[in-house]
Amino acid sequence: FNITLPFEQHANPTVEGTENLLPFHFFFTRKLFFVKEADALVLCPGGFGTLDEALEVLTLIQTGKSPLVPVVLLDTPGGSFWQGALDFIKNQLQDNHYILPADMKLMRLVYSADDAVEEINQFYGNFHSSRWLKNKFVIRMRHALSAKALEHMQEAFADLCINENFHQHSYQGEEHDEVQFSHLTRLAFTFTGRNQGRLRELVDYINQQENWEDASATRDGAQDQAPQKTL
């Protein structure tokens, strides 16, 4: 997704001149496609536009206007661009109570492309996708959780629920528009809709292989169906 500017801006040489290049005249339209089509976001150091995109993405996820996806801040080894940005966010936004402490969990800082890939793979280790179904928030998983893990969640993540506990079940025919996901296990609860950072912590918990009902299942097998879109 390239932006048309009167100076400096050129498309990535990998996609320049190919049918994969999609130019935009307006930043707003570009960001709309940027967020809508991505299952993961990797942000590298840049100028005002980069910061604008990073904060826009975080705002949409934090407020629940966009689904939870991995947001990876990628810097060069020893680089200070994103660490400096994170220090500002913590010192000025978190410490002054403009954001919740858990909001810092919505992004992860890494220093290599391999670590960025690993972060994305971990996010989709068990978590597949999520959606609202009437008044329930439903997380779709590749592996069912163990009884012990569910019991722990009822207490450790009770703040995410309004008035009911987490309920794990198989596909029950209620998602008529997405029957292609009928093989996935569901984790349903009455989500408060607040504190998406805590929701990210829940996703991290269900992605831990020791919490799966089939603890011997390999993560390599789970990656066969991992989302392929990354921007």
Q: In 3-state terms, what secondary structure has residue 139? A: strand
- How far is it, in rounded angstroms, from Cα 114 to Cα 97? 34
Do 115 and 194 contact (CB within 8 A), yes or no?
no
Residue 106 has pLDDT above 80, yes or no: yes
Do 178 and 172 contact (CB within 8 A), yes or no?
no
Residues 39-52, mean pLDDT to the nearest whole number: 93
The residue that leads in pLDDT, 114 or 164, is: 114
> pLDDT over 70 for what percent of the chain?
91
Parallel, antiparallel or unpaired: strands 71-74 and 41-43: parallel
Under the banding of pLDDT at 50, 70 and 90, the label for residue 217 is: low
Under the banding of pLDDT at 50, 70 and 90, the label for residue 60 is: very high
Residues in CB range of 210: below 8 A, 6 or more apart: none
What's the pLDDT tens digit per position in 109-143? 999 999 999 999 999 999 999 999 989 999 999 99
Main-chain dihedrals φ then ψ at residue 10, nearest 5 degrees: -130, 150
What's the pLDDT tens digit per position in 16-26? 778 877 777 78
